[in-house]
Amino acid sequence: MSTPTDWIKFHKNLYSHAELGLYLDFSDMGASETELQSLHQKVQDALFDMDALEKGSISNPDEDRQVGHYWLRNPELSPTPNIKLLIEDTIRDIKIFAFDILNGRLRNPGGQAFTHLLLIGIGGSALGPQFIYEALGLKKGLKTYFLDNTDPDGIDRTLDKLSNSISQTLVIVISKSGGTAETRNGMLETQAIFKKHDLDFAKQAVAITGEGSQLYNLSKAEKWLSVFPMWDWVGGRTSVMSAVGLLPAALMDIDIETFLAGARLMDEATRSKTIKENPAALLAMSWFIIGKGQGTKDMVILPYKDRLLLFSRYLQQLIMESLGKSHDLNGKLVRQGIAVYGNKGSTDQHAYVQQLRDGLDNFFVTFIEVLSDRQGESILVDEENTSGDYLFGFYKGTQAALSGNSRPSLTITIPDLSPASIAALIALYERAVGLYASLVNINAYHQPGVEAGKKAAGIVLETKTRLLNLLAESDQSLSIKAICEQLSLEGEEVLIYQILRHYAANHPLKVDGSFHDPANLSVILPH
């Protein structure tokens, strides 16, 4: 049962934004006034850093880049007239292009209107649009599908769903560099399907890429329908309000102006130097305090709305790619980061709330509450309650169960699933991540670990090519040890074995022995 003290604590720890209809309740996070006060100067310094970032400072020093995603929803903030014009022109071009597609002014070569959209990208170039589609997608826009991996089976499943409508499918290929392997592979697989159906891929294709990239040059040479820009001052995980997110959203018939306006309102709130009036500062401070500035507590995201299922995945990239860093800005080894996971309530409270309440105390929960149950009237499922009443009851019950066992949580409440509300959520977390990064003195805007993974993958593929060339030239069966010796890859026996095992599952390979006994295995290509 709550007490008068609980009411006082709730009121004291409640932030609200009247225009957005958004609330943040920190009353169950357990942060003391002393702890909050101890961070006051660090937060003011972080807000100063954020001011400099918005004014065009080199806020990604490792890559010598500006960080400009805040300019996307308020071009007036742009540090140069040219950037302002680029943003405004892109938004205008997106609206015109989407209007022409949705109203049948721009059609396929056969004169039919486009009915489906296939988006090919990976990471932030796919996850942002996917989240927007799930959260806000309407029946009036293009029915949207995604290729966001290089898994052949996943590609086949998606393209099979489009097989009867491929002629009326608009394809968007997204890659800043134009050389992203997963995106390139998805494009080539899609092009093969178009060729199989005697269709001209270029007549149904749009590129979103950096000027002068491989993809840019290809799209221009083949005369694709259109090309929209990606800029080096916008990172993938913060690109959802660039063409990356806005073009698909507009083709889904989502009001992108309202979307941008929601983010702009949140940006204004999160610039406040009065900490108790700044929701992003409050969020960053709560993360810092609960995790002792070292990310010792995992972040569990529990949205009580099916359409927000992908929000935890979206935040995984935004938070973990931004904050998961080995060194700080001074080169000191710090091993920073916050692990993020979650799904949706009330479904998943049946899966892991038992551990959250009674198991390891290594997390805090973020509940996402949506006040509006649905569009339209709800029936009573018993004498007094709707399905939405039950959802609210399960959310409050889970919160009470955790609180009763001293497990920390915070709650973000939004009025509805509108473009403004979703954009405000995104903008809130973007700013909170940037402020937290300043609190722990790291670069939130680069991703050396991701780049290292890409480089290592390239080495694996290069090794596979060398291995197959060796086998093609050999007239005798070779053991793993012999292969490594001939390729000067001593110590890489495990990798050679794994390459061969994967190859044999998909291509002809004569095997002497068994992959279940690697030490006595030898192989040769059939001649």
Measured distance CA(244)–CA(128) in Å, rounded: 8
Q: What's 78's DSSP letter?
A: -
Residue 327: strand pairing partners: 333
In CATH terms, the fold of domain 71-254 is: Rossmann fold (3.40.50)
Nearest to 169 by CA among 133, 138, 145: 145
- Cα 442 versus chain centre, distance: 20
Query: At CA 447, angle to CA 278 and CA 434, rounded to 5?
Result: 10
User: Is 1.10.10 the CATH classification of the domain at 449-524?
Assistant: yes
Q: What's the rounded Cα separation, in Å, for the pair 291 and 311?
A: 21
Rounded-to-integer distance, Cα 311 and Cα 93, Å: 28
User: What one-letter code names the amino acid at 374?
Assistant: R
Please give the structure tokens belonging to residue 143: 């029915």
* Residue 114 near residue 168 (C-beta atoms within 8 A): yes
Residue carrying the six token digits 């479904």: 347
CB 190 within 8 A of CB 148: no
The fold adopted by the segment(s) 4-60+259-446 is Rossmann fold (3.40.50)
How far apart, in whole angstroms, are the C-alpha atoms of residue 482 and residue 478?
6
d(CA 344, CA 301) in angstroms, rounded, equals 8
Cα 407–chain centre separation: 28
CB atoms within 10 A of CB 90: 21
Name the residues annotated as catalytic.
321, 350, 454
Q: Is the pTM of this model over 0.85?
A: yes
Alpha helices in 103-224 (DSSP H): 124-136, 152-161, 181-196, 214-221
Structure tokens given for 37: 């006060």
CA quadruple 133, 137, 143, 146: dihedral, nearest 10: 0
Q: How far apart are CA 505 and CA 509, in angstroms?
A: 9
The residue type found at 186 is G
Tens digits of pLDDT across the chain (527 residues)? 566 778 898 989 999 999 999 999 999 999 999 999 999 999 999 999 999 999 999 999 989 999 999 999 999 999 999 999 999 999 999 999 999 999 999 999 999 999 999 999 999 999 999 999 999 987 789 999 999 999 999 999 999 999 999 999 999 999 998 889 999 999 999 999 999 999 999 999 999 999 999 999 999 999 999 999 999 999 999 999 999 999 999 999 999 999 999 999 999 999 999 999 999 999 999 999 999 999 999 999 999 999 999 999 999 999 999 999 999 999 999 999 999 999 898 887 778 888 999 999 999 999 999 999 998 999 999 999 999 999 999 999 999 999 999 999 999 999 999 999 999 999 999 999 999 999 999 999 998 888 788 888 899 999 999 999 999 999 999 999 999 999 999 999 999 999 999 999 999 999 999 999 999 999 999 97
Alpha-carbon 60 to chain mean position: 19
Positions of CATH 3.40.50.10490 in the chain: 4-60+259-446, 71-254
